[in-house]
Amino acid sequence: MRLEVRQLSFSYTDQQILRNLSFSVEDGEFVSILGPSGCGKSTLLNVLAGILQPLGGEILIDGEEKKEISGSFAYMPQNDLLLPWKTILDNVCLYGEIHHRKAQMKEQARAQMARFGLQGCENKYPGELSGGMRQRAAFLRTTLCEAGIYLLDEPFGALDVITRGDMQDWLANLSSSLKKTILLVTHDTDEAIYLSDRILILGAPGEGIREEIRITEKNRTREWLYGQGEMRLKIHRIIKEKQRNGNEKEE
Ligand SMILES: Nc1ncnc2c1ncn2[C@@H]1O[C@H](COP(=O)(O)OP(=O)(O)O)[C@@H](O)[C@H]1O
Ligand SMILES: [Mg+2]
């Protein structure tokens, strides 16, 4: 599915966060939104997911304007939002419950538990798990959705470095085999370089997209990533430049 955002604007009462923002994500493309904390990344995903109402602009899916909360999006918010009174298995299968295919989804979920480091956790409650495990459960729930476009808000932020690397590899595999359209929000430059077809670097709130970087390497390994010093430096400079010229506000 193709996502297109046209002239999107959004304000909280005291601050304009998005101003005439336009970009698109092609069918099957992996795009990362990279930017410093507080620049409006989570706000953008909330507007796309329909949780926040834009001031203006259009969101198009395969060329059609999206008006309401759309089943085309699988949204993984920055905070995992697992329901504390449901077991991990029930949390993970929440969308199956909504769409009346819970039994089938439970089977799929059980098969994926080990891969997400959640084996033996089926009948535990979110409060009994570490932050990283909860994040992985929320991620598993998102991937079990049959939506065409994934909106992922710092899905690996709460994980330890080793698990994060494993999950990035896993997502890289998943995205190349399933051909999903993915919009990933991150403040981790290496993560964006490793996973994306394209990186959009956001400026200060209201500033919009500062630069777009396309990455064409097909055969990505950790060694390849560690050799990307020049790209990393370029991105670092763009982000720094923004902080110097832009809004100095700290989160
Ligand atoms: N509910 C809210 N009301 C008012 N301001 C908010 C609200 N949520 C976020 N903000 C502000 O909007 C800006 C962007 O926030 P956010 O989208 O969470 O940034 P990011 O995800 O890039 O770190 C920040 O300055 C933040 O303080
Ligand atoms: Mg955020």
Do 128 and 233 fall within a single domain? Answer: no
pLDDT in tens, 71-116: 789 888 887 679 999 999 999 998 777 667 788 889 999 998 988 8
Do 139 and 195 fall within a single domain? Answer: no
pLDDT in tens, 106-116: 999 999 898 88
Do 94 and 199 fall within a single domain? Answer: no
Cβ < 6 A, ligand 1 pocket? 12, 15, 17, 35, 37-43, 205, 251
**Interatomic CA distance for residues 240 and 222, integer angstroms:** 25
Rg for the chain (alpha carbons), in Å?
A: 18
Mutational pocket test of ligand 1: of 33, 42, 46, 79, the residue with most ligand atoms within 8 Å of the beta carbon: 42
The tokens for 198 are: 């394209």
The residue nearest atom 16 of ligand 1, judged by CA position, is 40
244: buried, middle or exposed (CB in 10 Å: 19+, 13-18, 0-12)? exposed
Do 122 and 154 fall within a single domain? Answer: no
Above pLDDT 90, what percent of the chain?
A: 56
Residues near ligand 2 ion, CB 5 Å cutoff: 41-42, 78
Do 139 and 153 fall within a single domain? Answer: no
* Angle formed at CA 228 by CA 45 and CA 182, multiple of 5 degrees: 25
> Would you state the pLDDT for residue 243?
58
**If you measure from the C-alpha of residue 206 to the centroid of ligand 1, how many angstroms do you get, rounded to a whole number?**
12
> Would you state the pLDDT for residue 249?
46
**If you measure from the C-alpha of residue 10 to the centroid of ligand 1, how many angstroms do you get, rounded to a whole number?**
11
117: left (phi over 0), alpha (psi -120 to 50) or beta: left
Domain boundary among 90, 119, 146: 146
Do 120 and 188 fall within a single domain? Answer: no
Q: Within 10 A of 96 (CB to CB), how many other CB atoms are there? A: 22
Residue 147: pLDDT band by 50, 70, 90 thresholds? Answer: confident
pLDDT in tens, 8-51: 999 998 899 999 999 999 999 999 999 888 999 999 999 999 88
Residues 6+ apart with CB under 8 A from 166: none
Give the ranges where 38-101 is alpha helix by DSSP (H): 41-49, 88-92, 94-98
**If you measure from the C-alpha of residue 47 to the centroid of ligand 2, how many angstroms do you get, rounded to a whole number?**
13
Handedness of CA 229, 230, 231, 237 (dihedral sign): positive
* Angle formed at CA 61 by CA 172 and CA 170, multiple of 5 degrees: 10
**If you measure from the C-alpha of residue 41 to the centroid of ligand 2, how many angstroms do you get, rounded to a whole number?**
5
**If you measure from the C-alpha of residue 101 to the centroid of ligand 2, how many angstroms do you get, rounded to a whole number?**
32
Do 117 and 219 fall within a single domain? Answer: no
The residue nearest atom 9 of ligand 1, judged by CA position, is 43
Do 23 and 132 fall within a single domain? Answer: no
Query: Which amino acid is located at 117 in the chain?
Result: G
Which CA distances in Å does 203 have to 13, 36, 99, 176? Answer: 20, 8, 39, 29
Q: Which range marks the domain in which residue 25 is found? A: 1-72+148-251
The pLDDT of residue 66 is above 90? no
Give CA 148 to chain center in angstroms.
13
Do 174 and 228 fall within a single domain? Answer: yes
The tokens for 54 are: 């834009």
Number of domains in the chain: 2
pLDDT in tens, 136-145: 898 889 888 8
The residue nearest atom 11 of ligand 1, judged by CA position, is 38
